[in-house]
Amino acid sequence: MSEEPEAKKSKVEDDANSSEEGPKPLPAGWEKRMSRSNNKEYYLNVYTGRSQWDRPTKPAEEDTKLPKKVQCLHILVKHEGSRRPSSWRTENITRSKEDAEKILRGYQKELNALDKAERKRKFKQLASEFSDCSSAKRNGDLGPFGHGQMQKAFEDASFKLTIDEMSDVVDTDSGLHLIYRIA
């Protein structure tokens, strides 16, 4: 008999998460996604880009402190471990991750020695000449983007920057980046 309440409890919980037609819809502002690394569903707050494992019970709240969109320039240096180790500049990229980081640290040092106006101009020049991203033809400009549009590490770094601020080296599946927020 002691097991019966447990069975009823889980039935009640199952009923709370489903209806005659199937699972209940998610509260406003949430998306269900699948984690490739954990092979498990998770839930994404579309306003803030934050995720959680537990199914949300209340509508997502907007984080009014964070901008909805940012615009950034970036310099991508790919390495042999990048998702696609090729670019418009080099068909087969064989440099090590360490070498890619040394290249970006050199650019970072050069850029940090400049005043704000000159830094932005030089960043664009470096991006157009040396970035492994196709955005090089636009001086590294990715255009405006919102939460959930870029790889998580790139997005997190971009949204933490203030306008005219440059990131440290950011590591993503695409390679290593320097990011410069312009809007």
Task: Yes or no: say if 133 and 87 are a contact pair by the CB < 8 Å rule.
Answer: yes
Is-catalytic flag, 151? Answer: yes
Query: Out of 72, 74, 79, 158, which one is annotated catalytic?
Result: 74
CA-closest candidate to residue 58, choices 45, 69, 74: 45
Alpha-carbon distance of 86 to 159, in angstroms, equals 27
- Residue 45, sorted as left (phi over 0), alpha (psi -120 to 50) or beta, turns out to be beta
Is-catalytic flag, 72? Answer: no
Is-catalytic flag, 174? Answer: yes
CA-closest candidate to residue 65, choices 154, 159, 163, 182: 159
Query: Out of 87, 133, 135, 158, which one is annotated catalytic?
Result: 133
- Cβ-based burial of 158 (10 A; exposed 0-12, middle 13-18, buried ≥19): buried
Is-catalytic flag, 19? Answer: no
Task: Yes or no: say if 16 and 28 are a contact pair by the CB < 8 Å rule.
Answer: no
The DSSP symbol for 137 reads G
Is-catalytic flag, 71? Answer: no
Q: Which residues carry out catalysis? A: 74, 133, 151, 174, 177
